[in-house]
C-alpha cells in the first residue's frame, strides 16, 4: 500500500489548541512511495507559514489492507529545533486520505484532523483557477459560542482577478448577498493567495486540481473551492430534482448540532426532507421538513430556499452542479436559533 502513496498531495485540517481556541491549516507535501514525506509546506490561521518533512508507514499487514497507517511529521520551531507530531491516517485510496494528529493535546501539540487529496495538474499556474467555482468556509464567530458559515461563487479570469458573491451567517447575523472582487496568485506547487478588502484580508488556498482547492479563509475558516458546472443556458428550478444526501460538517462549538439525512426535490420548486439531529441538548430522529426552492440567478447558480414546515425561515443555495449544492441559513437568530450554530457543506445526490 505504501508504494501507492506517491506524488504530490494537498490538505486541509481544523481543530483547536490546548486552550480550545479554533485552529485551521492548509498545506501540501510530496510522498515518494517508500514512506518519506518531503517538500512539505503549511499555512495556519495564526499567520504562520512553515516547511516540514516526515515519514509514514502502514501499521501492519492487516492495517495496510485496511488503509490504516501512521505518520511522523517534523516541523521546525521558530526559535530553533524541531517539533515532531505523530499522526494516524486512513487511506480511502491513493488519492484521498483522512488524517488526525494522534499525540496528546498540549502546548505545542494541537488537536487537528482533516483530509488529504492527491494533486493533479502540477505544476500549477494562474490558469489553474479559471472560470466559475463555488466555495464554502466554516469558522467560529467573534460572538462567543457561535459560528460563522460562508458559501459563495466566483468567476476567475485565469490570470489574476476574480469577481464573486457570497452569503454569510455570522453568529446569527445574516448577510444574504455580498459582492466581492479579488486578486490572486498561484505558485507552481499549488499554494495560492487570494486578496480582497471585501472579505477582510487574505485567504490562502492549496490547489488539488483545476478550480479545486483547500481554502483557509481570513480568521480561522476552513473550507473548499470546487468547480461550478451549470447546464447550458444556466441553472433552472427544474434542474433541481431528485434525492440529495445532506450532513452538517465541522461543527466547531459545543452548543452546536450535527445532522444527517436526505432532501427530496421534485423539479417543480417543492422539497421535503428527513434528518436525524444530535446536540448536547437533545437528539431527534426522522425530523421532517418541507418548503420551496427557486433559482434566483441562472448564471451564478444562486437559489432561494424557504423552509415552511415545521416553521418558516430562509436559506441560500449555490449550486456547484445541479447534483451538488451548498446551503446556508440567511435569517437572524431571533427567528431561527439554528443560525447561531451553523456549519455548511455539500448536499450531493
Q: What is the pLDDT along the chain (349 residues), one digit of tens a residue?
A: 556 889 999 999 998 888 888 899 999 999 998 889 999 999 999 888 888 888 888 765 555 678 888 888 888 877 777 888 889 999 999 999 999 988 877 766 788 899 999 999 999 999 999 999 999 999 988 888 788 999 999 999 999 999 999 999 898 889 999 999 999 999 999 999 999 999 989 999 999 999 999 999 999 999 999 999 999 999 999 999 999 999 766 555 666 677 789 999 999 999 999 988 877 777 889 989 999 999 999 999 999 999 998 888 899 999 999 999 999 988 876 655 665 666 677 899 9
Give the integer Cα–Cα distance in Å for 201 and 207. 20
What pLDDT, on a 0 to 100 scale, did the predictor assign at position 222? 93
Cα 67–chain centre separation: 23
The model's pTM is 0.93
Domain boundaries, the chain: 2-118, 126-227, 237-348
What residues does 243 pair with on adjacent strands?
264
Query: Pairing mode, if any, of strands 241-247 and 221-227?
Result: unpaired
Q: Does residue 241 contact residue 235 with C-beta atoms inside 8 Å?
A: no
CATH topology of domain 126-227: Lipocalin (2.40.128)
Q: Which CATH class is domain 237-348?
A: mainly beta
Residue with cell 499525540: 103
Asked if residue 148 lies in contact with residue 135, where contact means CB atoms within 8 angstroms, the answer is: no
Task: Identify how many contiguous H helices and E strands the chain contains and give both numbers.
Answer: 1, 24
Grid cell of 28 as nine digits: 501540501
End-to-end CA distance of the chain: 30
Contact 345, 149 (CB under 8 A): no
Name the CATH architecture for the domain at 2-118: Beta Barrel (2.40)
d(CA 117, CA 97): 6
Task: Give the per-residue pLDDT at 141.
Answer: 87
Examine domains 2-118 and 126-227 and report if their fold is the same.
yes
pLDDT at residue number 252: 59
> 36 - beta bridge partners?
55
pLDDT of residue 165: 98
Amino acid at each position: 500500500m505504501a508504494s501507492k502513496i506517491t506524488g504530490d498531495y494537498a490538505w486541509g485540517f481544523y481543530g483547536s489548541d490546548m486552550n480550545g481556541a479554533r485552529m485551521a491549516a492548509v498545506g501540501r507535501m510530496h510522498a515518494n512511495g517508500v514512506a518519506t514525506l518531503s517538500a512539505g509546506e503549511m499555512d495556519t490561521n495564526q499567520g504562520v507559514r512553515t516547511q516540514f518533512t516526515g515519514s509514514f508507514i502502514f501499521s501492519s499487514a492487516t492495517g495496510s489492507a485496511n488503509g490504516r497507517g501512521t505518520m511522523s511529521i517534523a516541523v521546525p520551531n521558530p526559535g530553533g529545533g524541531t517539533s515532531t507530531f505523530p499522526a494516524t491516517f486512513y487511506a480511502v485510496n491513493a488519492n484521498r486520505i483522512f488524517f488526525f494528529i494522534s499525540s496528546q493535546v498540549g502546548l505545542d501539540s494541537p488537536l487537528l484532523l482533516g483530509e488529504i487529496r492527491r494533486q493533479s495538474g502540477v505544476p500549477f499556474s494562474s490558469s489553474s483557477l479559471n472560470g466559475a467555482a463555488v466555495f464554502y468556509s466554516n469558522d467560529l464567530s467573534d460572538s462567543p459560542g457561535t459560528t460563522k458559515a460562508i458559501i459563495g461563487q466566483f468567476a476567475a479570469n485565469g490570470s489574476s482577478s476574480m469577481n464573486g458573491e457570497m452569503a454569510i451567517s455570522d453568529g446569527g447575523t445574516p448577510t444574504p448577498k455580498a459582492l466581492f472582487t479579488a486578486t490572486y496568485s498561484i505558485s507552481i506547487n499549488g499554494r495560492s493567495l487570494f486578496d480582497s478588502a471585501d472579505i477582510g484580508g487574505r485567504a490562502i488556498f492549496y490547489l488539488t486540481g483545476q478550480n479545486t482547492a483547500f481554502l483557509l479563509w481570513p480568521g480561522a475558516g476552513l473550507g473548499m473551492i470546487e468547480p461550478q458546472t451549470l447546464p447550458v443556458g444556466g441553472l433552472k428550478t427544474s434542474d433541481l430534482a431528485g434525492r440529495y444526501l445532506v450532513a452538517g460538517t465541522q461543527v466547531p462549538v459545543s452548543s452546536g448540532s450535527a445532522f444527517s439525512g436526505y432532501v427530496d426535490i421534485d423539479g417543480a420548486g417543492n422539497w421535503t426532507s428527513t434528518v436525524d439531529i444530535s446536540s448536547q441538548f437533545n437528539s431527534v430522529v426522522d425530523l421532517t421538513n418541507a418548503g420551496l426552492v427557486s433559482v434566483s440567478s441562472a448564471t451564478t447558480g444562486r437559489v432561494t430556499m424557504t423552509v415552511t414546515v415545521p416553521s418558516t425561515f430562509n436559506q441560500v443555495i449555490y449550486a456547484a452542479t445541479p447534483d451538488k449544492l451548498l446551503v446556508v441559513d440567511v435569517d437572524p437568530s431571533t427567528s431561527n436559533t439554528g443560525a447561531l450554530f451553523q456549519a455548511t457543506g455539500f448536499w450531493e445526490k
